Structure 1
Amino acid sequence: MNRPGSFFLAAALASLFATAPARAQDKLEIFSWWAGDEGPALKALIDLYSKKYPNIQVINSTVTGGSGVNARAVLKTRMLGGDPPDSFQVHAGQELIGTWVVANRMEDLSDLFKSEGWMAQFPKGLIALLSARNGIWSVPVNIHRSNVMWYVPANLKKWGVSPPKTLDEFLATCKTLQGKGVQHPLALGENWTYNHLWESVALGVLGPEDWTALWTGKLKFNDPKAVKVWATFGQVLDFANPDASGLSWQQATDRMLKGTAAFNVMGDWAAGYMATTLKLKPGEGFGWEASPGTGGVFM
């Protein structure tokens, strides 16, 4: 399943991250949106690379903005302007294949996967997600789980509710919370977090098989099953804060932590923010479950 937030490195034509030393170039640019709370993880990767290849200068080009909204705009300008970065962060799947791969702007990494033995190391389903047109087009560096619902255990205990397991339970729990004074039980942020939430709701309504069928064309978007996704999504949004567009994803998470909201659906990178930046103890300062209806599924 495609996952927003996952970190893959794609190599633009005339440059290749993993084989940079073999090309005898003395610089390597990594273009990404990993900054702020996620910056240390990228720095650790760069430090490891620099230790192995000390003669290569790594240029860390970051464009801030959740989910790469701003970075993709800058990348498009550079790609169309003839100034592609050596490598860049991308979400696996059609975000890359449906844009720069079909435009013949990328380098096939199939030989690299074979020489490094990665064909046997990565799950077949993941490699399929990276593949098209008889090629493999990006290297998995980090894989996030998207379908996670966050909460504060002490707050739920205070309100007398439990983490909902299903979408019906979620809607009922939010209704109960409103009766206890929590006006907007679900904390949402800027626009891309709506898309993020929609994916979790869609998976919860459809289940894994129909979710996949939706993107392969086997299940049409006007099928009653797919229409139900939108109806349920609307019900979920009824419990969200109306000022979401003015909040970053971190600020939305903060509302959940401060108790003005009960739940926040966000990828597992939120754990890094809460545990590393805010110094909260997992399981106490914050808790988590699979987003309602998606238990046992990793998206």
Structure 2
Amino acid sequence: MNMKQSVIALSIALAAPISQAGEVEVLHWWTSGGEAKSIGVLKDMLEDQGHSWKDFAVAGGGGESAMTVLKTRAVSGNPPSAAQIKGHDIQEWGELGFLTDLDGVASAEKWDAMLPSVVSEVMKHDGKYVAVPVNVHRVNWLWANPEVFEKAGAAVPNSIEGFFAAAEKIKAAGLIPLAHGGQPWQDATLFEAIALDVLGSEGYNKAFVEHDLEVLGGEKMVETFEIFKRMRSYIDENSPGRDWNIATSMVINGEAAMQVMGDWAKGEFAAAGKKAGEDFICAPAFGTADQFTFNIDSFAFFKIKEGDNVTAQKNLASTILTKDFQEVFNLNKGSIPVRLDMSMSAFDSCATAAMDSFKATAESGDLVPSMAHGMSTTSYVQGAIFDVVTNYFNDDNANPNEAVDKLVRAVKSAL
């Protein structure tokens, strides 16, 4: 290199925004498949902005192990830049004073305008953004194998009554009507889909968000438990302990007709080379076509020392809500973008239908948080509900009136 070239190179180096380059450390538990691919895209997008990414991945699908590690780090005064946290856990971290204010980024990029208020409120603590939503999962989906329905001469149900009519025909044909995994969270997923139809959106919110004891102990809740127990007879004996994806494979392989599960189940169909609308059908569960139960993945942002890393942290928050990232991430995850202004041209018919419903229910008030997936209440109340629901479901002699009484007492004691 001659003198002139050296001077030019030095000038370029001095002009580069070295002071703007920072590091983000991100805690998550997306370590396999499409999830790992998706988080890799976020890493690449941030590094393209000149920052470095320190991956803090803790394996474990539900994130329990990750939360244990996070608590240790936070208490010792060394939290990551961001961590995968959702629902009421965001509020708990906010109350402890660990989360940073993202309102500067949110205001500049008009997050309030692009997000439904029911979503943005979950991301705020004391009225200020402290977390960023990554996606939206619709939980109240029914996944169906059309060949099984055709063999049984049954129609894919759009109501609870339709479910029982179809289930009888499918059972008579020697097939399993409902694929289900006997785990508390799966029991609760089925239960809340029934509750959403029976109680309606307002009653659902009163029960699982506001914890109105009259609604929790009312006649409609008794009816919900009665319907829930009736469904038990359409599930096979090998259900206890079965993982959700194994239940999905039963529908894919034609062993079972349908499954009630969130849209992460779609990834299993896609991995098996199945096409929406042809090889499988996605329909709103039971009578909930005009309602939407949501589960949102999000990152909460922690207070870190001032400097370049804070700049990188804010850039990360901004990048998560860009249209480019929202599209790539959600195509891989099976979910839909959380932004209301996204083009859905790259998505399949299930995702397009979910987005249409997401927008409509955000306007109508029928967009409700999932109890089964930690969006509507604290982990303490959720655990209390899980115990009552799953114990009732697996006890042949359980009485629905007694179950409702137990539900009221359990929720009251967990508040």
Residue in 2 aligned with 1:88? 83
Report SS of the residue matched to 1:29: strand
Say whether 1:54 aligns with 2:50: yes
Deviations 1:11-43 (A, max 9, x none): xxxxxxxxxx99853242241346334332332
Distance in 2, matches of 1:260 and 1:212, equals 35
**Structure 1 residue 60: deviation in Å?**
5.2
Residue type at the aligned position of 1:94? H
Contact preservation (8 Å) 1:186, 1:262: yes
Residue in 1 aligned with 2:383? none
Distance in 2, matches of 1:179 and 1:49, equals 56
Residue in 1 aligned with 2:273? 279
1:202-217 mapped onto 2 (5 Å cutoff)? 202-214=195-207, 215-217=209-211
Residue in 1 aligned with 2:287? 293
Say whether 1:26 aligns with 2:23: yes
Distance in 2, matches of 1:118 and 1:22, equals 27
- Greater per-residue helix proportion: 2
Alpha-carbon RMSD across the aligned residues, in angstroms, is 2.4
Distance in 2, matches of 1:105 and 1:238, equals 48
**Structure 1 residue 242: deviation in Å?**
3.5
Residue type at the aligned position of 2:161? D
Say whether 1:114 aligns with 2:69: no
The answer for unaligned runs of 5 or more in structure 2 is 1-17, 294-415
Distance in 2, matches of 1:207 and 1:149, equals 18
Contact preservation (8 Å) 2:153, 2:169: no
Report SS of the residue matched to 1:174: helix
Label 1:216 to 1:110 Cα distance change in 2 as closer, same or farther (>3 A): farther
1:3-152 mapped onto 2 (5 Å cutoff)? 25-33=22-30, 35-51=32-48, 53-59=49-55, 61-65=57-61, 68=62, 71-80=63-72, 82=75, 84-91=79-86, 93-97=87-91, 99-152=92-145
Distance in 2, matches of 1:123 and 1:62, equals 30
Deviations 1:34-54 (A, max 9, x none): 633433233233322332x23
**Structure 1 residue 295: deviation in Å?**
0.8
Distance in 1, matches of 2:237 and 2:105, equals 48
Label 1:266 to 1:156 Cα distance change in 2 as closer, same or farther (>3 A): same
Label 1:202 to 1:141 Cα distance change in 2 as closer, same or farther (>3 A): same
The answer for unaligned runs of 5 or more in structure 1 is 1-20
TM-score (norm 2): 0.59
**Structure 1 residue 270: deviation in Å?**
1.6
**Structure 1 residue 75: deviation in Å?**
0.9
Label 1:102 to 1:25 Cα distance change in 2 as closer, same or farther (>3 A): same
Label 1:208 to 1:150 Cα distance change in 2 as closer, same or farther (>3 A): same
**Structure 1 residue 73: deviation in Å?**
3.8
Report SS of the residue matched to 1:220: helix
Residue in 2 aligned with 1:241? 236
Deviations 1:193-222 (A, max 9, x none): 222222212112212121112212345311
Percent of matched pairs sharing the same residue: 27
Report SS of the residue matched to 1:205: helix
**Structure 1 residue 145: deviation in Å?**
0.9
Distance in 2, matches of 1:62 and 1:76, equals 10
Higher-Rg structure is 2
Contact preservation (8 Å) 1:109, 1:136: yes
**Structure 1 residue 80: deviation in Å?**
4.1
Match of 2:227 among 225, 232, 242: 232
**Structure 1 residue 76: deviation in Å?**
3.0
Contact preservation (8 Å) 2:21, 2:51: no
Distance in 1, matches of 2:239 and 2:98, equals 36
Residue type at the aligned position of 1:208? S
Contact preservation (8 Å) 1:33, 1:89: no
Match of 1:166 among 159, 170, 177: 159
